[in-house]
Amino acid sequence: MSKLISLLLALFVIRTTVVILNFIAEYRFEYLQKEATADFFQKTYESLQKLSIERLISEKGGEYISKILSDGEMAGIVVSGFLPSILLNLLRFLVVIAVLVYLNPILGIISVIFIPFYFFVFKKYSKGIIESSQEERISYANVLESLKEKIEGLPIAIFYKQENFLIKKFLFDIKEWLKNIRKVIFNMKAYTASYSYLSAIFPLVIFGVGAVLVSIGRTDIGTMIAFYLYSENLFEPLSNFSKNLGAFSQVIPPFSRVLTIIETTYTAPDGTRTLRELKSISLNGLTVKYGDKEVLDNINLKLDFINNVNIAIVGYSGSGKSTLVRFLSGYFDSERCLINDVPITAYSKKSLRKYILLVSNTDFIFGMTVRENLSMGENFSEEEMEYALKLCGLNFGREFLNTKVGEGGKALSTGERQRLALARAILRKPTLLILDEALSGVDAETENVIFKNIKAIIPNLIVISHRLSTVLQCREIYVLDKGKIAAIGTHEELLASCSTYRDIIKEQLIENRNNDVSAKA
Contact 309, 461 (CB under 8 A): yes
Domains of the chain from N-terminus onward: 2-262 (1.20.1560.10), 280-519 (3.40.50.300)
According to the model, what pLDDT value does residue 287 have? 94
Whether the per-residue pLDDT at 436 is higher than 80: the answer is yes
The mean predicted confidence, pLDDT, of the chain is 81
Task: Write the pLDDT tens digit of every residue in 172-190.
Answer: 888 988 998 898 888 888 8
According to the model, what pLDDT value does residue 41 have? 65
Structure confidence at residue 514 as a pLDDT band (50, 70, 90): very low
**17 sits in which H/E element:** helix 2-48
The residue length of the chain stands at 521
Kindly report the CA angle at 76 between 75 and 80, in degrees rounded to 5? 110
According to the model, what pLDDT value does residue 251 have? 62
Lowest mean pLDDT among 15-29, 234-248, 507-521: 507-521
Contact 391, 453 (CB under 8 A): yes
According to the model, what pLDDT value does residue 517 have? 41
Separation CA 277–CA 306 (nearest Å): 11
Lowest mean pLDDT among 108-112, 154-158, 322-326, 389-393: 154-158
Whether the per-residue pLDDT at 265 is higher than 70: the answer is no
Is the pLDDT higher at 24 or at 246?
Answer: 24
Separation CA 471–CA 312 (nearest Å): 6
Contact 118, 238 (CB under 8 A): yes
Give the Å distances, CA to CA, from 282 to 33, 44, 110, 407.
53, 37, 81, 38
According to the model, what pLDDT value does residue 474 have? 92
Whether the per-residue pLDDT at 443 is higher than 80: the answer is yes
Contact 347, 274 (CB under 8 A): yes
Separation CA 391–CA 419 (nearest Å): 9
Lowest mean pLDDT among 88-92, 292-296, 316-320, 328-332: 88-92
Separation CA 363–CA 412 (nearest Å): 14
Task: Write the pLDDT tens digit of every residue in 30-52.
Answer: 676 666 666 666 666 677 777 77
Contact 465, 434 (CB under 8 A): no
Contact 242, 118 (CB under 8 A): yes
SS3 of residue 274 by DSSP: coil
According to the model, what pLDDT value does residue 391 have? 94
Whether the per-residue pLDDT at 63 is higher than 60: the answer is no
SS3 of residue 313 by DSSP: strand
Structure confidence at residue 82 as a pLDDT band (50, 70, 90): low
Separation CA 249–CA 104 (nearest Å): 36
According to the model, what pLDDT value does residue 109 have? 84
Separation CA 480–CA 459 (nearest Å): 24
Task: Write the pLDDT tens digit of every residue in 227-255.
Answer: 777 777 777 777 676 666 666 665 666 66
Separation CA 36–CA 502 (nearest Å): 62
Q: 232-262 and 163-215 helices cross at what angle (nearest 10)?
A: 150
Specify which of 11-20, 360-369, 381-390 reaches the highest per-range mean pLDDT. 381-390
| CA gyration radius, the chain | 35
Whether the per-residue pLDDT at 507 is higher than 90: the answer is no
Residue 345 CB contacts under 8 Å (≥ 6 apart), including other chains: 269, 271, 333, 334, 335
According to the model, what pLDDT value does residue 36 have? 64
Contact 521, 505 (CB under 8 A): yes
Separation CA 326–CA 462 (nearest Å): 12
- The percentage of residues in the chain with a pLDDT greater than 90, rounded to a whole number, is 33
Q: 221-230 and 2-48 helices cross at what angle (nearest 10)?
A: 10
According to the model, what pLDDT value does residue 516 have? 38
Whether the per-residue pLDDT at 223 is higher than 80: the answer is no
Whether the per-residue pLDDT at 21 is higher than 80: the answer is no
Whether the per-residue pLDDT at 363 is higher than 80: the answer is yes
Whether the per-residue pLDDT at 422 is higher than 90: the answer is yes
Whether the per-residue pLDDT at 100 is higher than 70: the answer is yes
Residue 44 CB contacts under 8 Å (≥ 6 apart), including other chains: 67, 68, 72, 258, 261, 262
Is the pLDDT higher at 60 or at 508?
Answer: 508
According to the model, what pLDDT value does residue 438 have? 92
Separation CA 227–CA 104 (nearest Å): 7
Closest among 384, 129, 418 to 246, alpha carbons compared? 129
Whether the per-residue pLDDT at 343 is higher than 90: the answer is yes
What is the dihedral sign for C-alpha 381, 408, 52, 305?
A: negative
Is the pLDDT higher at 322 or at 398?
Answer: 322
According to the model, what pLDDT value does residue 79 have? 58
Residue by residue, DSSP assigns 465-484 as -SBHHHHTTSSEEEEEETTE
Task: Write the pLDDT tens digit of every residue in 105-137.
Answer: 888 888 788 778 877 877 787 778 878 877 887
Whether the per-residue pLDDT at 194 is higher than 80: the answer is yes
Could you count the other beta carbons within 10 Å of the beta carbon of residue 109? 12
Average pLDDT score over residue span 353-361: 93
Is the pLDDT higher at 142 or at 450?
Answer: 450
Is the pLDDT higher at 14 or at 173?
Answer: 173
Separation CA 421–CA 364 (nearest Å): 8
Structure confidence at residue 381 as a pLDDT band (50, 70, 90): very high
Specify which of 132-136, 139-143, 302-306 reaches the highest per-range mean pLDDT. 302-306
Average pLDDT score over residue span 421-446: 93
In this structure, what DSSP letter does residue 509 have? Answer: P
